[in-house]
Structures are given as C-alpha cells and as structure tokens.
C-alpha cells in the first residue's frame, strides 16, 4: 500500500479506523486524501492523521487510485450519482457502506467498474475487526489484494464468492458485537442480582468475554469442545448450561440471526433502487 494513493469519501468512525490502521501499517499519510460534508470533521482528521483533506468527492477521485466509500447508506446513491464511470475508470472502489450491493453501485455509475464490497464490524475501531469481502467480476487479483490490505489493517478478512453471503455475514459478525454486548450486559446484571458490586460485575463480565474469545482464537478448538472442557459433570457450569439448553438458547440465536439476515436482504433491495 505504500505506493498506492487512497481516497476516502466520508470521514466517520470506520473511515478513521481504516486511516489509522493504514498509517500504522506503513502507508504514508501523504498518500491518503479524505472528503467529508462536515468541515469540522475534516479539520479533526487533518489534525489527527496529517492526511490530505479536500472539500469535494470529485477531488478525492482525481487524487486517488483506490476510493473507499464510507458514507451512510441513505446518501450513497446521491454520492455515487455525483461520479461517473469515466471518472473512476481503471480505479478500484472499496465500499464499507452497509446494505448496498455492487450491482446497485454499477447501475448508479452507469458503467462497469471494479468494486469490492466489504462488511466490517465495530471492533475494527480497535483494530480487532472481522470483515467479510466480495469482489465483483471487474476486479483483478491485484485489486482484490489491495482491498484486502486496506481492511486487514483493522483485523481479520474473509472473502466470499457469492455476494448474497454478505447478508449472512452481516447477521453474524456485522451485528454480532451487539449480541455479545447483550450477553455481557445480562451477565453483569445477573452478577449484581447475586450480590456483587456493579463495577465488579461489569469488569468480570467484560474480562471473561475477552478471555474466552482470546482462548478460542489462540487454541483454535471448536467452541463446543472448549465449552465441554469447562463443564464438569455435576458442577456449577453444568447447571448453568442446562438452563440455557432448556430455554433453547441456540434456537433463539438461530431465529435472531435469521431475522437479521432477512432484514439485511430487505434493506439491500430498498437502498439499491
């Protein structure tokens, strides 16, 4: 990425995390250009990262070989409509905008172009993200590698060959942090009900979630096996797991994630019109 000029249309939190990750991985700040509708946002980004800032999206397109689209889904069509197939010809578009399919972007541009659609999640803000990625047929292998290097700067990346699978990834890892925050919230509240001080319950819940995730990543065992190792016959954990199973926790997750997947598909159809 050191020799590739990268532009960001939109300078929100996810864009800032990617910019910070790129610079930390050796990308010169001078090779990055950012536009945003909010002048104060540009001042802040300039101060924090010493990157180039410009007032118009077209200026980003002119300055960059790779354009990262980092705007809200509701304004994506307007942003793309300001560009043209000719202006992005030969360039790579990387979108981190939720719910907008590559075919919709190509239709709005009224021409073919190389597009990589990604679904990062909020832990990217602390460079511990998980990002699903899809490249449309116009992308070369070199362009796929460039897109991957951008998102890899903030965590794990995983390619899919069917764009529809990004809706499932949205349901799993895109929305997934909220599920885990809910579990931590529930553990914290239960700990308080069992008599622990609130700050103690919160710290133990958060650290336990972190430690369990780190253990699962580093040992690389199936989570079911890790669970069984902690669940001694006749012990305390077994009693808790029994209650979860009686309440059909796994089925609840399946239903919840199916609802999230279906909503992602619905939003993609609405936003892509």
Tens-place pLDDT, residues 99-158: 999 999 999 998 889 999 999 999 999 999 999 999 999 999 999 999 999 999 999 999
Neighbours of 104 (CB within 10 A): 20
Tens-place pLDDT, residues 24-53: 999 999 999 999 999 999 999 999 999 999
> What residue segments make up the domains of the chain, in order of their start?
6-163, 174-268
Residues 53 and 27: beta-carbon distance below 8 Å = no
Q: Is 162 exposed, middle or buried (0-12, 13-18, 19+ CB in 10 A)?
A: exposed
With cut-offs at 50, 70 and 90, classify the pLDDT of residue 252: very high
Mean pLDDT for the stretch of residues 201-226: 95
d(Cα 69, Cα 36) in Å, to the nearest integer?
11
pLDDT of res. 1:
59
pLDDT of res. 112:
86
State the fold for domain 6-163.
Rossmann fold (3.40.50)
Name which CATH class applies to 174-268.
Answer: mainly alpha
Tens-place pLDDT, residues 59-82: 999 999 999 999 999 999 999 998
pLDDT of res. 19:
96
d(Cα 116, Cα 139) in Å, to the nearest integer?
8
Q: Report in angstroms the alpha-carbon separations of 202 from 50, 181, 197, 208, 238.
A: 37, 11, 9, 10, 23
Please name the helix (run of DSSP H) or strand (run of DSSP E) that holds residue 3, with its range, or none.
none
pLDDT at 214 over 80: yes
Structure tokens at 9: 């249309």
Q: Is 150 exposed, middle or buried (0-12, 13-18, 19+ CB in 10 A)?
A: buried
Q: What percent of the chain has pLDDT over 90?
A: 91
Tally helices (H) and strands (E) across the chain. Answer: 12, 8
What integer best gives the mean pLDDT of the chain?
95
pLDDT at 2 over 80: no
pLDDT of res. 220:
82
d(Cα 151, Cα 133) in Å, to the nearest integer?
9
């Amino acid at each position: 990425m050191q020799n590739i000029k990268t532009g960001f249309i939109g300078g929100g939190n996810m864009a800032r995390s990617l910019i910070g990750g790129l610079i930390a991985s050796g990308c010169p700040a001078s090779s990055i250009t950012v536009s945003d509708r909010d002048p104060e946002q540009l001042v802040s980004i300039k101060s924090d990262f010493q990157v180039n800032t410009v007032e118009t999206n077209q200026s980003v397109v002119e300055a960059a070989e790779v354009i990262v689209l980092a705007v809200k889904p509701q304004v994506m069509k307007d942003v793309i409509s300001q560009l043209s197939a000719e202006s992005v010809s030969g360039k790579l578009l990387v979108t981190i905008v939720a719910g907008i399919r590559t075919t919709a972007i190509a239709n709005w541009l009224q021409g073919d172009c190389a597009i990589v659609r990604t679904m990062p999640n909020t832990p990217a803000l602390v460079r511990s993200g998980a990002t699903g990625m899809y490249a449309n047929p116009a992308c070369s292998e070199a362009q796929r590698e460039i897109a991957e290097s951008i998102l890899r700067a903030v965590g794990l990346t995983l390619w899919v060959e069917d764009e529809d699978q990004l809706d499932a990834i949205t349901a799993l890892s895109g929305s997934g942090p909220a599920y885990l925050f809910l579990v931590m919230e529930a553990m914290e509240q239960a700990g308080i009900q069992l008599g622990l001080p609130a700050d103690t319950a919160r710290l133990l819940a958060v650290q336990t979630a972190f430690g369990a995730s780190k253990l699962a990543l580093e040992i690389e065992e199936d989570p079911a096996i890790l669970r069984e190792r902690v669940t001694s016959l006749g012990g305390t954990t077994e009693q808790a797991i029994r209650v979860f199973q009686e309440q059909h926790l796994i089925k609840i997750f399946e239903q919840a994630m199916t609802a999230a997947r279906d909503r992602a598909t619905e939003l993609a159809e609405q936003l892509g019109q």
